[in-house]
Homo-oligomer: A and B are copies of this chain.
Amino acid sequence: MAWHEKILRVDLSKGTCQAEPLNMEWAEQYIGQRGLATKYLSEEMDPKADPLSPGNVLIFATGPLTGTSAATGGRYSVITKGALTKVIACSNSGGYWGGELRLAGWDMILVTGKAEKPVYLNIVDDKAELLDAEGFIWGESVWQTEAKIKERHQDSRIRVASIGRAGEKLARYACIINDLDRAAGRSGVGAVMGSKNLKAIAVRGNLGVQVKDPDAFHAAVTAARAKLDPSADRAGLAEQGTISMLDITQAFGSLPTRNNRDVQFEGSDKIGAAAMVAKRRSDGQPNLINNKACFSCTIGCGRVSKIDPDHFSVAGKERYKTAGGGLEYESVYALGPMVGVDDIDAATFANFICNEEGMDPISFGATLAAAMELYEMGAITDADTDGLKLEFGSAEALVKCAELAGLGEGFGADLGLGSKLLCEKYGHPDLAMVAKGQEFPGYDGRSMQGMALAYATSNRGACHLKADPYGDDFDGGPIEGKAEIVYSSQNAVAAVDSSGLCLFPMAVWDLGDVASQLDSACGGGWTAERLAETGERIWNLERRFNLDTGLTGKDDTLPKRILKEAAKSGSGKGKVAELAQMLPAYYEIRGWDDEGVPTTQTLRRLSML
């Protein structure tokens, strides 16, 4: 129970949709969502396949708690080989689409091959069909796509996950957007979808989700909510969203600024949580209109924002007169300090374009930051940019580049390469602020050593959501302790990412709270210990997939800027990331050999051999 034990296999090359039973042996070992889908991916595809070829497999996977009343039980993940990174991609999204898929009776959608012509997948409960997208929604933005699907099928309750024009044009960091502004955001999963000529997946569900022991489940959910709902962490996320982190990283000196040349941004107070509620002059309205929540979520960290209609002039701004998904910490870091821009309207506008055209704002902003540094040094010239001045701090450049990258036009095609390929193309590969080809989130690894290790070892490339080193980093915890903190939090996160729940309640919950909800919903004896071990198994499964792509321990590294150039200010002033000191300890605690390969003993211990 809780699992429907039913997956939808879509073969785009053949144009077929078929139901098949979920492999429950694998579900016992990998739960669902991130873990289970990675198992399917490993078994279904050649890890060496080009991510943009028909040989890649694209999986939309829920967890057994997705679509239930468990607080934050609305998550799904997209698992594939990443277009940006060429290693495992697992992009987790909220909103309502995942819950709807479960209400329609499906645990997972497994997409193989490539459609001859653009299509979209339409699911109503147990009925699934591929429909023509050409002449209908192909070439449209995410927002237009959702509106058109709802109109054609005459049902406003349909939930849509789709790619925008960035995904169609194979921008390496194109994402998949559901519910207009919730994203399976990172690693280029939207480009994979685009390469398969799959524009959208529309879902309507009326069937519900069965849990094994309804009384016990209700009690477990109620107990977990009683911890979460009155907590300060929940309240802070509801009131301010994640953007409140900006004041902290600014004060601490871990706010990546101007392609990580600086670690504090002089304009941070113009774009943070307080600025979002400051009255705007031209129409008297604040940037922040409201907060909003995902399926079954009692937090509501999402922002609803408006831009100042008269604040700056860009093409197409009339499209943004209504409210949309607002800035969060990662988007504001990348569309603000990282490109040196202190204009909250420009950053919000760029974020809207990222939502509308389906781009990851982190990778877009960081790629633009790299381009700005290349422009400043003369490696990129006006001839490359059609005369656009790519200067740090230019709100005009930010907005124009977001439009170009979203459409894949002009210099936007270069930007769509991502930092790594862009910096290689223009002759300065060291300037790409990436790990395993994926751009950094909003934390500088020189004042946050645990985060540096988390970036270098993350299976999907630099990530702020695959480990939890924050507290110890802000406490100034010793280098010696970082490996253990990164190791154990990576495991815990992998388990939660496989359950259908969001990570944010984990500020208050422990794995026992997840286990009590999972066990009452699914049965089978889930405990905190088993979840931690399962998380470790998932981590090693991802690592093996990556090693099978050709990755080696040498890829567990960081850019020279973070390893060799000392931070200029803040609490990390004069310091670099001490990766050489932390990585061997991390390999050891993981039970990996000196090359970063899991030992036979480790795989046996985790029942993977």
Q: Which residues of A are at the interface with B, using a C-beta cutoff of 8 A?
A: 226, 229-240, 244, 247-248, 250-253, 264, 269-281, 286, 447, 474-477, 507, 569-573
Q: Which residues of B contact A269 (CB under 8 A)?
A: 231-233, 236, 507
Closest 9 CB pairs of A and B: A571-B571, A236-B274, A232-B275, A235-B278, A476-B573, A251-B474, A232-B274, A235-B277, A235-B274
Of the A-B pairs whose beta carbons lie under 8 Å apart in the complex, a sample of 21, sorted by A's number, is A229-B279, A230-B280, A230-B281, A232-B270, A232-B271, A232-B275, A235-B274, A235-B276, A235-B286, A236-B277, A239-B277, A244-B244, A247-B248, A250-B474, A251-B474, A253-B474, A447-B571, A475-B569, A476-B571, A476-B573, A570-B571
Which residue in B226, B248, B274, B281 is a CB contact (below 8 Å) of A251? B248
- The chain B residue with its CB closest to the CB of A282 is B230
Report whether A474 and B235 are in contact in the complex, using a CB–CB cutoff of 8 Å.
no
Report whether B235 and A275 are in contact in the complex, using a CB–CB cutoff of 8 Å.
yes
| CA–CA, A472 and B348, complex, Å | 29
| CA–CA, A275 and B232, complex, Å | 4
Report whether A278 and B234 are in contact in the complex, using a CB–CB cutoff of 8 Å.
yes
Report whether B232 and A476 are in contact in the complex, using a CB–CB cutoff of 8 Å.
no
Q: Which residues of B contact A571 (CB under 8 A)?
A: 252-253, 447, 476, 570-572
Task: Count copies of this chain in the complex.
Answer: 2
| CA–CA, A280 and B226, complex, Å | 10
Report whether B278 and A569 are in contact in the complex, using a CB–CB cutoff of 8 Å.
no
Q: Which residues of B contact A274 (CB under 8 A)?
A: 232-237, 239-240
User: In the complex, what's the smallest C-beta–C-beta distance from A31 to chain B, in angstroms?
Assistant: 29
User: In the complex, what's the smallest C-beta–C-beta distance from A519 to chain B, in angstroms?
Assistant: 26
| CA–CA, A100 and B479, complex, Å | 58
Known: A235-B277, A279-B230. A253 touches B475 (CB 8 A): yes
| CA–CA, A571 and B249, complex, Å | 12
- The chain B residue with its CB closest to the CB of A570 is B476
Which residue in B230, B248, B251, B264 is a CB contact (below 8 Å) of A278? B230
| CA–CA, A231 and B274, complex, Å | 8
| CA–CA, A273 and B250, complex, Å | 18
| CA–CA, A244 and B476, complex, Å | 21
| CA–CA, A581 and B207, complex, Å | 72
Most buried by B among A239, A274, A447: A274
- The chain B residue with its CB closest to the CB of A264 is B475
- The chain B residue with its CB closest to the CB of A280 is B230
| CA–CA, A230 and B244, complex, Å | 18
Please give 4 more A-B residue pairs, beta carbons under 8 A apart, in addition to A236-B274, A247-B248.
A233-B274, A235-B275, A235-B279, A236-B277
